[in-house]
Amino acid sequence: MVKKIIQKKLIQKKSFKKKLVQKKSISKSLISKEVYVPSDDSFLLEREIRKRNLVGKVCLDLGTGSGVQGIAMLKSGASFVVCADINKNALVESKKNVLKYLKETKNFDVVVRFVETDLFSNLKGVKFDFIVFNPPYVPSEKIKWVDLDGGKEGSETINKFITQFVGHLSSSSEILLLISSLNNPKKLINIFEKKGFFVDVVSKEKLFFEELFVLSIKK
């Protein structure tokens, strides 16, 4: 029985790797050269990840930045993690930090992939048990940098995520989504609920000009 389970996992990993071979090109004209430095939002999300047992889970750290959330997934027992970002420089930084963590902990029995992608554009057909997304959520008059600017109500990238994520969920997926009080949270929660998802505010932190929320989204 154990042998069959291991064989199944190996087949899934090989299949996953094949799905990442063909990548769509991503325009660099609207992508900044900056890598988001971990801040209050990053650490709030990280603490929530650490409350979960991710053993055996296929995980996605979407908008990985410096890799903080991907490392938190590994610390929580995940053995298969995809760190994804539209910003190539962020992927370089996250890979450096993740590999440093794996070397320090001598944890070489895990699989970590680093994927350059605009949301799910280069993750076609791949399903995840656990998705974490810290999107660009600060409101801006226009989108100058797609990896940093949130646009109107700071929710333009979040709205795009909402139209794409459903096809990438396993039968028992959970999503952790970081949003701000500046993003009209009630409106966003209502959109998820209309799609048939249950939404809970599992963490929050009040800052001097906004309040941060971590939403747990499940079927």
Q: Could you read off the pLDDT tens digit of each residue along the chain, which spans 219 residues?
A: 433 433 344 344 445 444 554 455 444 446 567 888 899 999 999 999 999 999 999 999 999 999 999 999 999 999 999 999 999 999 999 999 999 999 999 988 999 999 999 999 999 999 999 999 999 998 888 777 767 788 888 999 999 999 999 999 999 999 999 999 999 999 999 999 999 999 999 999 999 889 999 999 999
DSSP track, 137-203: -S--SS-SSTTT---GGG-HHHHHHHHHGGGGEEEEEEEEEEEEGGG-HHHHHHHHHHTT-EEEEEE
Count the residues in the chain.
219
**Nearest alpha-carbon partner for 111 in 2, 15, 5:** 15
Give the chain's end-to-end CA distance (angstroms, integer). Answer: 30
Q: Which fold has domain 36-218?
A: Rossmann fold (3.40.50)
pTM: 0.86
